[in-house]
Structure 1
């Protein structure tokens, strides 16, 4: 039970962080050209 209690919050934050990183990476890889266009436009 102690393990579960300690593992749960770590999983929650780690999962959120991993999800954000995966979303950013997917967006970056999928729209690389778009990102470069935006950078050039700026």
Structure 2
């Protein structure tokens, strides 16, 4: 039971980190595009 909870918790953390990386790269990409556009 605790092993399943631990693995799901770790997968949730990994998913959150991946989502954060995608979001930050998306924001920086749009910022670079706007900076070059101006």
- When the two structures are superposed, what TM-score results if normalisation uses the length of structure 1? 0.57
Q: Spell out the pairing of 1:1-42 with structure 2 (5 A cutoff).
A: 4-29=5-30, 31=31, 32-34=33-35, 37=36
After TM superposition, where is structure 1 displaced by more than 2 Å over at least 4 residues in a row? 1-6
Structure 1 unpaired stretches of 5+: 38-42
- Aligned positions, number: 34
Structure 2 unpaired stretches of 5+: none
Q: Which residue of 2 aligns with 1:40?
A: none
- Aligned-residue CA RMSD in angstroms? 1.6
- When the two structures are superposed, what TM-score results if normalisation uses the length of structure 2? 0.61
Which of structures 1 and 2 has the larger relative contact order (alpha carbons within 8 angstroms, sep 6+)? Answer: 1
